[in-house]
Amino acid sequence: MLNVAIIGPGLVGGALIEQLAAHLQSPRFAGLPIAVVGLINSKKMAVSEAPFAASDLGDWKSRILGSAAPDADLAQFADRLAKLASPSVVVDCTSSDAVAELYPQWLAKGLHIATPNKKAFSNDLSLFRRIQELSGSPQGPSVYHEATVGAGLPVLSTLSDLVRTGDRIVKIEGIFSGTLSYLFNNFSAPGATQKFSECVAVAKASGYTEPDPRDDLNGMDVARKVAILGRVAGYGLGTDTLAIENIVPEALRGVASADEFMSRLPEFDDHFAQLNGEALATGSVLRYVGCVDGASAQGSVKLTRYPLDHPFASLKGSDNIIAFTTERFPNPLIVQGAGAGAAVTAFGIFSDLIKICERFGAGTK
C-alpha cells in the first residue's frame, strides 16, 4: 500500500483528489494499492491510519478538513505520515519556496515526494543537490516532479530515459509557457491582425496571464523550466546563469501597477509589429522559447523565428511543445499538448504516484 498525503488542495490538488477518488471506485484501479491518508491546507489538517473513503474525498472540505479537524501544522503532518506502517508520499501542490525547503527533512524521514512545485528544482542548486543525494538510492525515498515542466506531458520522464540510457543531448528546445504560447500563436501568424497589446489584453481578460502580465513576459517562468530541464539532463543550470530575454519593454519594467503597464503597452505595438513583420517577411513566425544546449551545457530563453513548416510554427491555442535533439534522434523527438491546467497537471502528478506505487507500494518501509 502507498499512502498519499496532499498539501495545498487548491485547483491542482483538488483535481488530483477528484481523480484519486474516482479511481478508488473504479475497477481499472484494482491492483494499484494507493490510499489517500493525509490532507492539509493553510488552516486545517488530517492524517488517518485508515484510508479516507472515496465519498469523504468527494466532499473533503467539510468531511475531512472541516472545523473539527486539527489546526494545520506541517511538521506534525510529516511526522505522523512518517510513522505510518506503509510507505508514504507527500504531494506538494503549493508553489511555496518555504515548503520546497522542507523536502530534505521529509526525505530524511523516508517520505517520498511528488510535486508540480517548481521551486525545489529551479531555486538554489544546493537545495536541488541535497534533494538528489537524499533520493538517489534504488531503495528510496524517491522524488518525482513530471508536472513541473509541461504539466502531464511526458517531458521529464522522456528526458530522464534518454539521459540514463546514454543518449547524448544535442539540444532541448521548447515553448513551455501556455501564456506565451497563446500570445505568439495569435500575434505571429500569417494574416494575423491583432496588435501585440491587444493580444496581451485578450489573454489577460481570459485569465491566461498572471495578474500582472509582466510576470509572464519577463521570462522567469520559462527560465525555471529551462533550469529544471538542464538539471535533469545533468547540467548545473540555475535561473541566474541563463541568458533570459525579458520582452517587457524597458521603460515599463519599473511601472508601479499592472493597470499602468497595460495602458502604456500600446506605445510599444510598433516595436513588436516590426519584429513580427521582419519574421513574416522571411516566411517565419516569432515564438518565445526556452533552450538547453548540450555542447555548452548552457540555457537560454528568447524570442526566436521559426519557418512556417516547423512544428513550433503550427502550434495551436496555448499548447506547449518540446523538441529533444539527440545523437539517437537527429530529427528531434517531439512532445506537444496542453501544458497547463488543473486536470492535466493532476494527471502528471497521478502518473508519478503510479511510478512510486509500482516501485515502493508493494513493500513495507
- Is 334 among the residues that bind its own copies (CB under 8 A)? yes
What are the binding residues for NADP(+)?
8-13
Round to the nearest angstrom and report the end-to-end CA distance of the chain: 10
Is 347 a binding residue for its own copies by CB under 8 A? The answer is yes
Name the one residue in this structure whose C-alpha cell is 488552516: 43
Binding-site sequence positions = 8-13, 94, 118, 210
Q: Does 152 sit near its own copies (CB under 8 A)? A: yes
- From the annotation, which residues make up the binding site for NADPH? 94, 118
Q: Kindly tell me which residue out of 154, 171, 245, 293 binds its own copies, with binding defined by CB under 8 A.
A: 154
In whole angstroms, how large is the CA radius of gyration of the chain?
22
Interface with its own copies includes 240 (CB under 8 A)?
no
Region 289-318 residues binding its own copies, contact defined as CB under 8 A? 309, 311, 314, 316-317
Q: Is the dihedral of CA 111, 117, 118, 120 positive or negative?
A: negative
* Short-list 210, 329, 337, CA closest to 262: 210
Q: How many residues bind its own copies (CB under 8 A)?
A: 55
Site string for its own copies, 1-40 (x = CB under 8 A): ------------------x--xx--x-xx-xxx-------
Tell me the three state secondary structure of residue 67: coil
Does the annotation mark 204 as catalytic?
no
Which conformational region is residue 65 in: left (phi greater than 0), alpha (psi within -120 to 50 degrees), or beta? alpha
Grouping H, G, I as helix, E, B as strand and the rest as coil, residue 3 is strand
H-helix segments, 206-341: 214-217, 220-232, 250-253, 258-264, 269-281
Q: Is 337 in the site for its own copies (CB under 8 A)?
A: yes
Counting contacts by CB under 8 A, is residue 168 touching its own copies?
no
Nine cell digits for residue 260: 499602468
Among 48, 86, 158, 186, binds its own copies (CB under 8 A): 158
The residue range among 120-128, 204-212, 257-265, 356-364 that interacts with its own copies, by the rule CB under 8 A, is: 356-364
- The neighbour count for residue 1, using CB atoms within 10 Å, is 17
Residue 351 found at the interface with its own copies (CB under 8 A):
yes
Helix (H) or strand (E) holding 183: helix 178-187
Q: Contacting its own copies (CB under 8 A), which of 67, 126, 282, 331?
A: 331
CA atoms in the 13 A half-sphere facing the CB of 263: 6
What is the set of active-site residues? Answer: 225
Residues near its own copies, by CB under 8 A? 19, 22-23, 26, 28-29, 31-33, 136-139, 152-154, 157-158, 161-167, 234, 309, 311, 314, 316-317, 319, 328-329, 331-338, 343-344, 347, 350-351, 354-355, 357-359, 361-363
